[in-house]
Structures are given as structure tokens and as C-alpha cells.
């Protein structure tokens, strides 16, 4: 059942973002409750200079969960590449979740800039986790420049709308059977996460849904249970849907009381 | 105890000023010392000054509300110009769902619509159609309030010393240290949380109370001061960079002001400020005793709200619980 990214096994298909919690202490308790395989951390330029964010990063590193730094909020290739380099230095990892935002209202990835930044970073030795759409052609290009993981969105970041295009996500899963796929963005409630795992996705990334819940710690636990349920359901081979009813009790042999 | 205990309060931010006044009122012989040259040389100078026990429950633990309900009265008893007109919570049309979420997590408010919003803030007539009104909240101008506390301390017989030379601690019975991030070598786990704010002058807009503009990522509040001056704040960034405001933060703050009222487009920018909020991992302040030394620190974003309760706690450590 282990999920593996770039040859490294992680303990859970749940990836948890660390932004927007009411306090670092609640963040820590949420991580303990979620038991995520990976935590993501965003790096802002004003906190990277002279390691001004070190106090917060130390709290994250004390969680002893593999850290995936991200380039959240970057709108250009250059910004994303610079941020990735700063993150590698701060966190001592060559993993990077690559975000190149193309549109302000939907925070949709700029897929052209994304492929370009992924190419540059892969050549620089980074292991890139690209935040992308469910577009298969873009996905092919990301793999071609060296990405070994894809992170399609479920819905716009922070919208909580769940899996907006189940057909597209299903097609992506079928198209790339050997590539680790992570639903990133848009997950609002645990059932969305379970659904992604049931569809065969290897992992889900969640931040707002936990951080902005009234009780982040219990919501974190709910997501842990949901990914466990989704993963078990997939392994257990779910039944096929059909249009007509099938009686669960056979008709043949029933007493006929005419 | 014979005679008044001699107490040195270090730091003239909101934690130090409230402590100095509370200790003098309980009978201490108080000397206030501030290395920064004036009251409010640190983060307190940049504060919003909202006395909002119920609004803060949206993201703060329940204790914040419980411990701060009395603070509106404390400020009204100690400084002039405490405004008790409540606070208003609004959201742009596309983010109106945030109002429901805010309401679920708070209490002591009335849901208001177009008519009530117009009655409360005539300048916002027709611009917002749903909001929350917290009638029991108030606000102060932090800079005036800190100066008023200094005057109060002197009335009570206390002294204040500003400058580079700290009075000899050995000549005091107690030292109460309220120095914010400067105490981080002595206090474990204290960190700075960067906040940026603007002061605008806008004769075209009149507001009577703080307005919080909800947004899923960038919640902003606008607090009216005297003479059509408005404080717009504040960012919350996990960083100890105290350098100048970034363009992104400035745009976020200005966008919120402009969304509230287009008249802000013509406002004059009086000041851009950055401060580092001293914070513990749970974002709650602490009173820590070490022999005859007491630390009050970690006010985070709740300095004006929670410092009266923490000052009382420190006074109880020195004088015993109050009857």
C-alpha cells in the first residue's frame, strides 16, 4: 500500500499543507492527527532573506515528516525557479512542488510556464511535483521534461468544490498507469479525498480544508480516516455501476405466494 | 511587606504600559524603562487597537474571548477616547459565504442587511447587503492610548525613563520584563510574526467603527481614527523580517480599502508600517515568573485585547490575588 515518490516511500497517501492554521501549535496537533506522508511548506521571499522565517520552519522540521517545499504564489518561470532554489537551501531537499499561477481568479496553473520551469528545475537536479490540470497533453510534456509525479487539480485552490472533472481525472489515471498521481487543490471534505483514492489516485494534498475548519485537529483526523477508507476500497475492487437494479436476494427458489 | 515594593517595568509597549499602570494602582513604586526612546517603540505602535473579544473568536481559542471581555471596560476606565460603537463585518459579493462561516464561529452579533448597514455606516449605503454587527465591541487609537497610560502612571507617582541606560535592576524588588522579541534569548519558543499596516487620510469617507473585510486568504480590517485617518491592517506572515512593506502586501491592503469604499482611491498615504508580533507557538500570551522577575510576553495580535488581563495576573503574583 506504500506510496512512493521518486523512489522514496512515504507512510500515507495524505499530504498536508502547513499554511493558514490558527497557530503553530494547532498545526502541530493537526499533523499528529493526520499522520501525513508529506507536509508541504510555502516559501515567501520576504521570509527567505536572512532566513527570517526560520522560527516557523524549525517548528515544521520538528514534526519529523518529509517536507515538500512549494512555490505557491509564483506567477512567472523566473520567480518559481528562484523560489525553488531558495527552498532547496532552506529545507535541504531537492523535492519541490512547482506552482506557476496563470490566472488570479481561479489560480489555474500557467501550463506553458509550468512545463518550462519543470524543465529548468529538473536539469538543475530537482525532483519536481508539478501542480497541473487534468490535461493529458500537458501531462505528457511534464513527463517528457523529467517529472515523475503529476499533481492535477480537483478544483480551484481553496474552493473546496471537490473533484470537478471526474471523467478527466479518471482518463488521466487510465492514461498514466505507472505514474504517481496526486489530486492537489479543491478538496473540501474527507469524502472528496476518499473519492480520489477510490479513483486510483496515489495521494491527495490538502491544506485549506483542514486549516480553515472550525476544529482543524478533528478535521485532520477525519481526512486520515478518509484516505484509509479510499485506499482500502480501491484495493478491495469496488463493484461495477449499472443502470438497472439487481436484487441482492435471488428470485429463484423463493416461495411464490400467489 | 513594609513600604511599597519597588518595581522596574521594562518595555513601554502595550504589555509594559498596562502592567506599569496596574502595578502602580495596586500600590507599587513603579519605574518604567524603555530603550526605544518613547512609548510604543515596537509592535504596539502599529496595532489596530480593536477591542473585539467576540470577533477574534473566529480564529483564536475560546480563552481569548473569555479573558478579554473585561478589557473594553478596562480601557474605558483608563484612557479617554475609547469608542464603543461596535464592529462591523462585511464581505465583497463574491466572498459573501465567508460571512456565514464567520458567524458560525462567533457570537454576540446581529445579522444586518442593506438597511441596517446604511443606518450604521451611511457612507456604505448600497454597497453591502449582508454583514454581522458586534454591538458590544470597541476600539482605541493605540498611540493616544499608550501616551494616556504614561500620563496615568505619572499621576499615580510612577516614573518613566527612556534611553540607553537601564536603571540598576539590583535596586528593585521586582523586575517585570515586557520587551517583546528582545527577550527571545531568555524565553523559549518566542517567534516574530510579521505584520504590515497603512495609515491613510481620506476626507471623503466617514466610518464610525472598525470594519472587517472578509476574504478567504487576505482578511483586512479598517479602523477609523480621528480627523479622517484610517488604519488599514494587517498582514500575518511567518517571518521575522522587519523590513519595509512589500508591494504585494500594499496591494492587498489597498484593494480591501478600495473595495470597502471607492473614495479611498483619493486617500493620502500617511504611513506604511511593519512590526513583528511576539508570539508563542499557541499564539497566546504568557506570564512567566522566575524568582523576582516576571515576563509578560507573546501578545501576538491581541496586545490591546489581552494585556489588561495579563497585567492583572502579574500584579497578583506580586501582591497576591485581589479580593
The range of the structural domain enclosing residue A84 comes to: 11-234
Q: What is the pLDDT of residues B221-246, one digit of tens each?
A: 999 999 999 999 989 888 888 889 99
pLDDT at A246 over 90: no
Find the CB nearest B191 among A26, A55, A212: A55
Per mean pLDDT, which range of A68-82, A234-248, B157-171 is the poorest? A234-248
State residue B160's pLDDT score: 94
Look at A169 and A91; give whichever has higher pLDDT.
A169
Cα–Cα distance for residue pair B82/B268, rounded to 1 Å: 25
Same domain, B200 and B256: yes
Look at A107 and A137; give whichever has higher pLDDT.
A137
Same domain, B203 and B98: yes
**CA geometry: angle A34, A37, A43, nearest 5 deg:** 95
CATH of the domain at A45: 3.20.20.70
A26: contact with B, CB 8 A cutoff: yes
Decide if A187 is inside a domain. Answer: yes
B188: contact with A, CB 8 A cutoff: no
> DSSP characters for A88-150?
HHHH--SEEEE--B--TTT--B-HHHHHHHHHHHHHTT-EEEEEE-S-HHHHHHHHHTT---B
Decide if A255 is inside a domain. Answer: no
Confidence class for position A42, pLDDT limits 50, 70, 90:
confident
State residue B275's pLDDT score: 93
Decide if A4 is inside a domain. Answer: no
A156: contact with B, CB 8 A cutoff: no
> Smallest Cα–Cα separation from B14: which of B312, B297, B322?
B297
Interface test with A, best of B65, B238, B281 (most A CBs within 10 A): B238
Confidence class for position A250, pLDDT limits 50, 70, 90:
low
Q: What is the pLDDT of residues B277-295, one digit of tens each?
A: 999 999 999 999 999 999 9
- Which residues contact residue A91 at a Cβ distance below 8 angstroms, ignoring those fewer than 6 apart? A41, A57, A61, A67, A69
Total domain count, chain A: 1
Tell me if B282 and A25 make a contact (CB, 8 A cut-off).
yes
Cα–Cα distance for residue pair B20/B32, rounded to 1 Å: 7
Same domain, B266 and B148: no
Decide if A49 is inside a domain. Answer: yes
Cβ(A238)–Cβ(A72) below 8 Å = no
Total domain count, chain B: 2
pLDDT at B1 over 50: no
Same domain, B267 and B233: yes
- The count of other CB atoms within 10 Å of the CB of residue B151 is 12
Decide if B250 is inside a domain. Answer: yes
Decide: helix, strand or coil at residue B200.
strand
Q: Among all chains, which residue has been given the C-alpha cell 442593506?
A: B114
Average pLDDT of the residues in A168-191: 95
Decide if A133 is inside a domain. Answer: yes
Same domain, B155 and B196: no
Confidence class for position A6, pLDDT limits 50, 70, 90:
very high
State residue B2's pLDDT score: 55
Here the ipTM equals 0.79
Shortest CA gap A2–chain B (Å): 32
Shortest CA gap A25–chain B (Å): 5
Find the CB nearest B192 among A28, A55, A214: A55
Same domain, B39 and B18: yes
What amino acid positions of A are annotated as catalytic residues? 97
pLDDT at A48 over 70: no
Paired strand residues for B220:
B213
**Alpha-carbon dihedral angle through residues A37, A65, A34, A87, given to the nearest 10 degrees:** -90
List C-alpha distances in Å: B234 to A1, A89, B193, B196, B231.
45, 29, 11, 5, 9
Shortest CA gap B322–chain A (Å): 32
Decide if A144 is inside a domain. Answer: yes
Cβ(B103)–Cβ(B109) below 8 Å = yes
Is the pTM here over 0.90, yes or no?
no
Decide if B1 is inside a domain. Answer: no
pLDDT at A45 over 70: no
The range of the structural domain enclosing residue B259 comes to: 87-135+191-279
> In chain B, whose CA is at the least distance from the CA of A57?
B238
Decide if A250 is inside a domain. Answer: no
Average pLDDT of the residues in B17-30: 96
pLDDT at A38 over 90: yes
Tell me if A24 and B194 make a contact (CB, 8 A cut-off).
no
State residue A47's pLDDT score: 65
Cα–Cα distance for residue pair B57/B47, rounded to 1 Å: 18
State residue A251's pLDDT score: 65
> In chain A, whose CA is at the least distance from the CA of B59?
A22
Same domain, B242 and B264: yes
Paired strand residues for B229:
B201
Paired strand residues for B88:
B133, B211
Count helices and strands (H / E) in chain A: 10, 10
B218: contact with A, CB 8 A cutoff: no
Amino acid at each position: 500500500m506504500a506510496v512512493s515518490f521518486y523512489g522514496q516511500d512515504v507512510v500515507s497517501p495524505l499530504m498536508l499543507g502547513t499554511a493558514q492554521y490558527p497557530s503553530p501549535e494547532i498545526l502541530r496537533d493537526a499533523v499528529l492527527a493526520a499522520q501525513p506522508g508529506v507536509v508541504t511548506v510555502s516559501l515567501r521571499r520576504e521570509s527567505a532573506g536572512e532566513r527570517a522565517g526560520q522560527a516557523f520552519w524549525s517548528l515544521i522540521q520538528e514534526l519529523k515528516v518529509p517536507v515538500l517545499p512549494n512555490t505557491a504564489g509564483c506567477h512567472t518561470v523566473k520567480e518559481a525557479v528562484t523560489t525553488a532554489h531558495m527552498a532547496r537551501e532552506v529545507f535541504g531537499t531537492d523535492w519541490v512542488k512547482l506552482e506557476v499561477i496563470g490566472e488570479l481568479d481561479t489560480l489555474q496553473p500557467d501550463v506553458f510556464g509550468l512545463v518550462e520551469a519543470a524543465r529548468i528545475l529538473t536539469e538543475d537536479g530537482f525532483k519536481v511535483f508539478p501542480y497541473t490540470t487534468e490535461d493529458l497533453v500537458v501531462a505528457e510534456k511534464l513527463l517528457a521534461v523529467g517529472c515523475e509525479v503529476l499533481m492535477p487539480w480537483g478544483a480551484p485552490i481553496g474552493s473546496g468544490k471537490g473533484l470537478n472533472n471526474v471523467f478527466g481525472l479518471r482518463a488521466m489515471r487510465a492514461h498514466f498507469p505507472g505514474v504517481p498521481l496526486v489530486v492537489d487543490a479543491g478538496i473540501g471534505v474527507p469524502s472528496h479525498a476518499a473519492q480520489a483514492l477510490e479513483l486510483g489516485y496515489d495521494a491527495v494534498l490538502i491544506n485549506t480544508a483542514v486549516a480553515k475548519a472550525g476544529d482543524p485537529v478533528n478535521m485532520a483526523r477525519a481526512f486520515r480516516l478518509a484516505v484509509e477508507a479510499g485506499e482500502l476500497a480501491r484495493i478491495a475492487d469496488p463493484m461495477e455501476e449499472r443502470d438497472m437494479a439487481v436484487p441482492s436476494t435471488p428470485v429463484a427458489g423463493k416461495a411464490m405466494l400467489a | 511587606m513594609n513600604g511599597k515594593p519597588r518595581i522596574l517595568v521594562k518595555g513601554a509597549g502595550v504589555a509594559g504600559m498596562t502592567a506599569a499602570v496596574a502595578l502602580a494602582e495596586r500600590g507599587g513604586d513603579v519605574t518604567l524603562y524603555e530603550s526605544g526612546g518613547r512609548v510604543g517603540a515596537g509592535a504596539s505602535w502599529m496595532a489596530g487597537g480593536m477591542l473585539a473579544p467576540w470577533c477574534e473568536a473566529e480564529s483564536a481559542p475560546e480563552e481569548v474571548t473569555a479573558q478579554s471581555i473585561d478589557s473594553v471596560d478596562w480601557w474605558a476606565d483608563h484612557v479617554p477616547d475609547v469608542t464603543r460603537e461596535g464592529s462591523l463585518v462585511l464581505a465583497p459579493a463574491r466572498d459573501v459565504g465567508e460571512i456565514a462561516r464567520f458567524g458560525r464561529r462567533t457570537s454576540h452579533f446581529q445579522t444586518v442587511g442593506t438597511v441596517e448597514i446604511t443606518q450604521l455606516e451611511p457612507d456604505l449605503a448600497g454597497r453591502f447587503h449582508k454583514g454581522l454587527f458586534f454591538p458590544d465591541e470597541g476600539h482605541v487609537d493605540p498611540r493616544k492610548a499608550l501616551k494616556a497610560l504614561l500620563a496615568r502612571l505619572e499621576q499615580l507617582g510612577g516614573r518613566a525613563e527612556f534611553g540607553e541606560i537601564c536603571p540598576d535592576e539590583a535596586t528593585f524588588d521586582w523586575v517585570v520584563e515586557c520587551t517583546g522579541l528582545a527577550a527571545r534569548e531568555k524565553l523559549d519558543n518566542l517567534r516574530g510574526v510579521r505584520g504590515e499596516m497603512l495609515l491613510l487620510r481620506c476626507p471623503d469617507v466617514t466610518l464610525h467603527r472598525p470594519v472587517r473585510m472578509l476574504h478567504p486568504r487576505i482578511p483586512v480590517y479598517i479602523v477609523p481614527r480621528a480627523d479622517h485617518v484610517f488604519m488599514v491592517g494587517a498582514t500575518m506572515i511567518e517571518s521575522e523580517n522587519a523590513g519595509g512593506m512589500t508591494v504585494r502586501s500594499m496591494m492587498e491592503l489597498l484593494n480591501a480599502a478600495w473595495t470597502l469604499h471607492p473614495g479611498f482611491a483619493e486617500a493620502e498615504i500617511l504611513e506604511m508600517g511593519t512590526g513583528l508580533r511576539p508570539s508563542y507557538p499557541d499564539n497566546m500570551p504568557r506570564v512567566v515568573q522566575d524568582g523576582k522577575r516576571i515576563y509578560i510576553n507573546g501578545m501576538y495580535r491581541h496586545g490591546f485585547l489581552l494585556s489588561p488581563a495579563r497585567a492583572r495576573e502579574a500584579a497578583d503574583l506580586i501582591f497576591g490575588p485581589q479580593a
